[in-house]
Amino acid sequence: MTALRLRVNVLISGGFSGAYGQLLPEFERASGIAVATGSGASQGNGPQTIGAQLARGVPADVVILSREGLAELIAANRIAAETAVDLASVPLGVAVRAGGATPDVSTVEAFRNVLLEARTIAVPGSTSGIWLRDNLFPRLGVADLVNFEMTPRGSDAATMVAAGGADLAVMPVSEILVAPGVEHAGPIPPEIQFVQVFCAAVVAGSQGFDGSRRLVAFLASPRASATIRRSGMEPLAGSR
C-alpha cells in the first residue's frame, strides 16, 4: 500500500515568487512533501489579498509576504506563534518597456523628473505602492502632479508597462527581473529607498504543521541564499 504523501498549501505574494519558484522543486525532491501554491497581494484591498483569502477559508499552511502584510495577519491571529521568519530584503526599482529608452533614476532629482515626465506610472496596490502613495510621492512634492495607477499585483503593474499602458512602474526589483516585456532601469536612489523584507510563517491551525515548518526552514536556510541573491534579493538567513 502506497503511503500518503504530505502536502503543504502556500499563499505567496509577488516579491519572493522568483526565488521561490526556483527553490521549490529542490525542496519537494529532498523532502518528499508536495506543495500547492496560490498567490495574493501582501496588503491592500480586494478579494485576492492574502488576508482576504485566509478570511474566506482558502486552504493555506504557509504564507510568504511582506513584513507589513505579515504584521496585519499576526494582529488578526492568523499566524501560528513564533513561526515567522525573515527570508530576504529587496529594494524598489523602476521598470520600463523592454527595448525602449532607459531613464536616469540615479539621483533624487533625476528620479523626480522621470516621474513628472511620465504620462502614467504603475505601482502595485500592495505594500510598496501604499508606501509610494502615502510617503514618497508626498515627500517629493509630486503626489498631485503625477498620474499613477495602483494595480492589484506587481505583475499587473509590469504588464501595464509592457503593453504601453504606463511609461514606467515603481516596484520591487525582484518582481521586475522576472516580468516579461520590461527591463530594470535601476533602483530608486538610496536616500529615498524603501527596502522591503519578505517573510514566511505558518498559518494558525495548519493541518500540515511539521511539513510547513520544514518548508519555512528550507527557504530561510543558507542553502537557499545563492538562489535568492540571483533573484535580485538579499537573503536574510539566520537574521531572525
Q: For the whole model, what pTM was predicted?
A: 0.95
Q: Tell me how far CA of residue 137 lies from CA of 62, 67, 108, 115, 156, in angstroms.
A: 33, 21, 12, 9, 20
What does pLDDT average to over the chain?
Answer: 96
24: Cβ–Cβ under 8 A, 6 or more apart, which residues? 35, 37
**CA neighbor of 119 nearest in space, from 147, 98, 100, 99:** 147
What pLDDT, on the 0 to 100 scale, is given for residue 1?
38
Average pLDDT over residues 84-109: 98
CB atoms within 10 A of CB 57: 7
**CA neighbor of 185 nearest in space, from 67, 100, 82, 81:** 100
Angle at 9 between CA 8 and CA 12, to 5 degrees: 125
pLDDT in tens, 41-53: 999 998 999 999 9
pLDDT in tens, 187-234: 999 999 999 999 999 999 999 999 999 999 999 999 999 999 999 999
What pLDDT, on the 0 to 100 scale, is given for residue 5?
66
Residue spans of alpha helices (H) in 16-165: 17-31, 50-55, 67-75, 108-117, 127-131, 137-140, 154-162
- Identity of the amino acid at 219: L
As given in the structure block, the three cell numbers for residue 234 are 538579499
pLDDT in tens, 32-91: 999 999 999 999 998 999 999 999 999 999 999 999 999 999 999 999 999 999 999 999
**CA neighbor of 29 nearest in space, from 223, 228, 232, 230:** 223
Give the burial string for 147-180 (b: 16+ CB within 10 Å, else e).
ebbbbbbbbbbbbbbbeeebbbbbbbbbbbbbbe
- For β-strands 168-172 and 92-97, DSSP reports them as antiparallel
**CA neighbor of 120 nearest in space, from 174, 156, 157:** 157
